[in-house]
């Protein structure tokens, strides 16, 4: 009886091990997780928000939802444009929810807070909304890529063009946080180097509904150019209220340093006509950009902003790098992200530098007059395509500690 009992036990053990091995073999591969941390409900929701989520989704679809035999999952959340909220979400995603890469980051403050978590957990972050040039300067990180634009590139593209046209005295209406301060600083440097003067600035709280006191200060300065060191809904409200004050009619001009096609759409061509702006992407530039723009429009019923196209691009490039590296291990993926050129619907001439700056050409654009527009979203005349090495700050000048 004992022999029989031992044989039965051995058989049961063998069956148990065998079934366990089969179960293990049938277990699905862990997903590759991408988190989109954006602004869904506030001043930057139009330029990013749901459109950034859609851009990331389109990139995942281009990979048919899998890479390295693993499903690709996407999650999203609202950072509420608060640094502490962004830090808490990025910590949770990296630490306990298995997120491999986070993309978007709606403001410079949320980006810098998230970058600290990215460094702590040694996970990748791609910034497509926030703009401060400090992200690849004194605050650079080995795990962060800055994808779309920054305050340096916009200052040197738009600021230089306006000064060359005679706009040599400036007053700034500045969003009172790092992003606005960075724009004012970077444009002021351009103006002064060109021989112009900065006559003053007024600091406005983020998402304020009333710009009247700031506009009165700008009007009283007699500056030729009122530089809008803000973005999104704040820029739209400043321009609308400037019209009510008759500022442009009185001889001063507005300079939208960071503007988006969604801003022009909200303002209408009658108010926005003649503005000189810079963008990294315009849907009607060429066949490549038009194809992506129309694909996005079918889903969102509006053309993509440069940030939304960039979120598609950054997600796609990350997945290409994972595929090329054969792993999601951070350093291996980052090495491939720097090795592989960025060639997609957003840009056909991009590359990722060691300071985290993704360098690509920028477009200098002028908003059309209403009678010049031939179709919906036909808003821009392309004045110039500025090569990336001219638009973005030279690697040696950024103060990034990673640069030898």
Q: In this model, does residue 167 exceed pLDDT 70? A: yes
Give the integer Cα–Cα distance in Å for 349 and 314. 14
- The rounded distance, in Å, linking the Cα atoms of 101 and 312 is 14
φ/ψ of residue 61, rounded to 5: -65, -35
- For residue 131, which of 321, 280, 272, 313 has the smallest C-alpha distance? 280
Q: What is the mean pLDDT of the chain?
A: 93
| Lowest mean per-residue pLDDT among 27-31, 227-231, 342-346 | 27-31
d(CA 116, CA 130): 15
Which class is 32-149+285-360 in CATH?
A: alpha beta
Residue 379 has pLDDT above 50, yes or no: yes
pLDDT for position 26: 55
Residues 6+ apart with CB under 8 A from 259: 228, 231, 235, 275, 277, 279
Q: Mean pLDDT across the stretch 156-183?
A: 93
Residue 240: per-residue pLDDT: 94
What is residue 13's predicted lDDT score, i.e. its pLDDT? 52
Q: How far apart are CA 292 and CA 288, in angstroms?
A: 7
Residue 24's pLDDT is 47
CA 372, distance to chain mean position in Å, is: 30
- 32-149+285-360 and 152-284+363-390 agree in CATH topology: yes
The secondary structure element, H or E, covering residue 204 is strand 197-204
pLDDT at 331 over 80: yes
Give 326: exposed, middle or buried? Use CB within 10 Å, 0-12, 13-18, 19+.
exposed
pLDDT, residue 3, reads 44
Q: What is the pLDDT of residues 106-132, one digit of tens each?
A: 999 999 999 999 999 999 999 999 999
Residues in contact with 301: Cβ distance below 8 Å, sequence separation at least 6, in sequence order: none
CATH, domain 152-284+363-390, list 3.40.47.10, 3.90.700.10, 3.40.50.2300, 3.40.50.10860: 3.40.50.2300
| Token couple for 63 | 């990979």
- Segments making up each domain of the chain, as ranges: 32-149+285-360, 152-284+363-390
Average pLDDT over residues 20-35: 72
Return d(Cα 292, Cα 386) in angstroms, integer.
21
Answer whether residue 1 shows pLDDT above 50. Answer: no
Q: Which residue has the higher pLDDT, 355 or 161?
A: 355
Query: In 3D, which of 159, 156, 178, 181 has the Cα closest to residue 170?
Result: 159
Model pLDDT for residues 39-98, shown as the tens digit of each residue: 999 999 999 999 999 999 999 999 999 999 999 999 999 999 999 999 999 999 999 999
Asked if residues 309 and 360 have their Cβ atoms less than 8 Å apart, the reply is no
């Amino acid at each position: 009886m004992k022999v029989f009992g031992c044989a039965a036990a051995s058989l049961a053990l063998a069956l148990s091990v065998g079934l366990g091995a089969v179960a293990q073999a049938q277990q699905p591969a862990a997903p590759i997780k991408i988190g989109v941390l954006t602004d869904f409900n506030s001043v930057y929701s139009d330029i990013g928000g749901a459109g950034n989520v859609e851009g990331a989704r389109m990139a995942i679809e281009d990979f048919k939802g899998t890479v390295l035999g693993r499903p690709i999952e996407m999650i999203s959340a609202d950072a509420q444009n608060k640094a502490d909220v962004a830090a808490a979400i990025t910590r949770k995603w990296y630490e306990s929810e298995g997120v491999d890469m986070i993309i978007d980051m709606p403001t410079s403050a949320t980006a810098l807070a998230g970058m600290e978590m990215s460094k702590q957990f040694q996970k990748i972050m791609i910034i497509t909304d926030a703009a401060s040039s400090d992200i690849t300067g004194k605050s650079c990180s080995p795990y962060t890529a800055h994808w779309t634009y920054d305050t340096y590139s916009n200052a040197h593209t738009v600021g230089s063009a306006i000064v060359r046209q005679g706009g040599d005295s400036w007053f700034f209406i500045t969003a009172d946080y790092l992003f606005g301060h960075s724009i004012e600083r970077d444009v002021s440097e351009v103006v002064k180097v060109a021989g112009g003067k900065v006559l003053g600035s007024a600091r406005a709280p983020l998402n304020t509904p009333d710009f009247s006191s700031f506009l009165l200060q700008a009007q009283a300065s007699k500056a030729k150019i009122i530089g809008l060191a803000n973005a999104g809904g704040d820029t739209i409200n400043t321009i609308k209220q400037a019209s009510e004050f008759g500022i442009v009619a009185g001889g001063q001009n507005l300079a939208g340093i960071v503007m988006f096609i969604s801003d022009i759409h909200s303002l209408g061509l009658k108010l926005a006509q003649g503005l000189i702006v810079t963008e990294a992407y315009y849907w009607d530039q060429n066949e490549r950009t038009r194809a992506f723009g129309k694909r996005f429009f079918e889903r969102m019923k509006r053309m993509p902003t440069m940030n939304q196209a960039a979120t598609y691009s950054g997600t796609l490039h990350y997945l290409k790098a994972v595929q090329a590296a054969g792993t999601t291990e951070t350093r291996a993926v980052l090495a491939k992200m720097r090795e592989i050129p960025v060639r997609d619907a957003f840009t056909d001439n991009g590359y990722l530098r060691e300071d985290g700056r993704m360098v690509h050409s920028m477009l200098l654009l002028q908003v059309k007059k209403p009678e010049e527009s031939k179709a919906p979203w036909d808003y821009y005349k392309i004045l110039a395509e500025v090569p990336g090495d001219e638009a973005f700050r030279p690697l040696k000048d950024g103060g990034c500690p990673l640069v030898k």
